[in-house]
Amino acid sequence: MGELKMAKKAAEKSAKELSEMLLNPRKNGFFKVTDEKIEKADKFCEGYKAFLNSAKTERESVEYAVAAAEKHGFVPFDPKHKYAAGDKVYYNNRGKAICLAIMGKEGCKNGVRIAAAHIDNPRLDLKPIPLYESSEMAYLKTHYYGGIKKYQWTAIPLAMHGVVVKSDGTVIKVCIGEEAGDPQFTITDILPHLGQDQATKPLGTAFTGEDLNILIGSRPVRDEEAKDAYKLNIMRLLNEKYGIIEADLISAEIEFVPAFKAVDIGFDRSLVGAYGHDDRVCAYPALEAILNCKNPVQTVVTVLTDKEETGNTGLNSEYMRYFIADLAQAEGEEPRHVLSKSTCISADVTAAYDPHYASVYEAQNSTYINGGLGIAKYTGAHGKGGTSDANAEFVAKIRRTFDDAGVLWQIGELGKVDQGGGGTVACCLPATSFYLGAAYAPDIGVPVLSMHAPFEVVSKLDVYMAYKGFKAFFDEK
């Protein structure tokens, strides 16, 4: 009877009314929100920009998260301790990944709610034996990390971040190139006057990984008889400042990243340009969502993971499942039962539609700048290879949650079929938590322009909606 009544009402409406009732037209989010929300988005992104400037590596992101968590009353997790509703804990996994949790009124018995984001970025890592000299200049050899276009990393200012661990275990933090007055570094490129041969090569082969060598100096030690005088001078300076020798670079994790600061983009300041939006643009809102979560019904968890796929700090390892298992056992619950009732969103970015490269997008199924939080039911390419694929019931629940909380959202895919696709945190969740009820989680995150470039662009409104969306997921009754 209800369906007949609905059909009768539909028949009595005009085409315009029918369109509003039945169709799902895309509409720029600016026309859906008030000036007050725009102001809140702008203010939220001031904090986000500060985070981007202070946390350009996974280690720095975890340091930031720990400091922010402790400021909000979180304490290190003790699996032997009995926690009560409202208690806040965090687990720091080797300084490169972190789990934060707030105990719910119901605890873990009906599952936990998880938002997982990754905090690694494309960058240039040092090779184990990186230092050399050539033609009276000193250089560092690198091995690039992540999917990059190599040519984008030449002729830009670079900063040096990371740690050097000496053979006695002493850890030395390094950050050069971010403060005013610091030296910076670069990878040189050939001038156009001499670049005819380079210009004839395909874009993907014009630069090789072995070409990405960083210029770090040009002055020798003051001894004309000295061997490796330019390389030696660099080690002299590093030894004076940090007390290290060349062999210590073998056990170092040094990342060279763009020295750019996060800035507003556009006359209207509606966008943020920065290095490292993917995936810190989801990590920061997920962190803020749990820091500002009050009295959740179910226990809520934010996971900021290092690499998605590899290592004991990556989401393909078991640390997240072990953490949730400890939460469950502390309440006398069976971990696999808790996991099977849990829900999870993969807080990961998607590609924003770019009209300059429209041929690789399918416009109807793309996400757009200022369209709100982007949802991808599945990722992957070529028949959904290497993908996650969230079930319809969970997607419907997410729709309802976001709509009830006034969250702007949109849904799309990462490019055309057989053209786009890519791996995300969601692909790793089944492996790390194979009992998880929503293991095949949807990617829910911010659309990004120039993804994986040294300088990416996002919408302030979309970043704010990511925060509202993750918080709504945690707050749902």
Pairing of strands 271-274, 171-176: unpaired
- Report the phi/psi class of residue 382: left, alpha or beta, with left for phi > 0 and alpha for psi in -120 to 50: left
What is the pLDDT confidence band of residue 7, given thresholds at 50, 70 and 90?
A: low
pTM of the model: 0.93
Question: In terms of Cα–Cα distance, which of 26, 22, 10, 48 is closest to 271?
Answer: 48
Q: Are strands 373-376 and 409-411 parallel, antiparallel or unpaired?
A: parallel
Over residues 184-191, mean pLDDT: 97
Point out the least confidently predicted range of 23-27, 146-150, 280-284, 301-305: 23-27
- The pLDDT, as a whole number, for residue 419 is 79
Helix %, strand %, coil % for the chain, to 5? Answer: 35, 25, 40
Q: Is it the case that residue 359 has pLDDT exceeding 50?
A: yes
* pLDDT confidence bin for 378, thresholds 50/70/90: confident
Angular region, 266: left φ>0, alpha ψ -120 to 50, beta rest: left
pLDDT at residue 256, rounded to an integer: 98
pLDDT for position 314: 83
DSSP state letter for 73: T
**CA dist., res. 77 & res. 92, Å (int):** 9
Examine the pLDDT at 414 and tell me if it is beyond 60: yes
How many CB atoms are closer than 10 A to CB 286? 31
The whole-angstrom separation of Cα 321 and Cα 339 is 8
pLDDT of 441 > 80? The answer is no
pLDDT tens for 137-167 read 999 999 999 999 999 999 999 999 999 999 9
Phi (first) and psi of residue 83, to 5 degrees: -105, 155
Which has the minimum average pLDDT: 213-222, 379-388, 428-437? 428-437
What digits encode the pLDDT tens for the residues 77-130? 999 999 999 999 999 999 999 999 999 999 999 999 999 999 999 999 999 999
The pLDDT tens digits of the residues spanning 224-236 come to: 889 999 999 999 9
- Which residue would you say has higher pLDDT here, 70 or 4? 70
Over pLDDT 70: what percentage of the chain?
91
How far apart are the C-alpha atoms of 254 and 249, rounded to whole Å?
8
Per-residue pLDDT averaged across 176-191, rounded? 97
- What percent of the chain has a predicted confidence (pLDDT) above 90? 78
> What is the spatial distance between Cα 177 and Cα 242, in angstroms, rounded to a whole number?
16
260 CB contacts (<8 Å, ≥6 apart)?
Answer: 156, 157, 273, 274, 275, 454, 455
pLDDT reported for residue 387 = 63
Asked if residue 383 has pLDDT above 70, the reply is: no
pLDDT at 316: 79
d(CA 474, CA 360): 35
* Residue appearing with tokens 């039962």: 337
How many helices and strands (H and E) does the chain possess? 12, 20
pLDDT greater than 80 at residue 350 = yes
- 54-68 confidence digits (pLDDT tens): 999 999 999 999 999
Instruction: Give the model's pLDDT for residue 176.
Output: 98
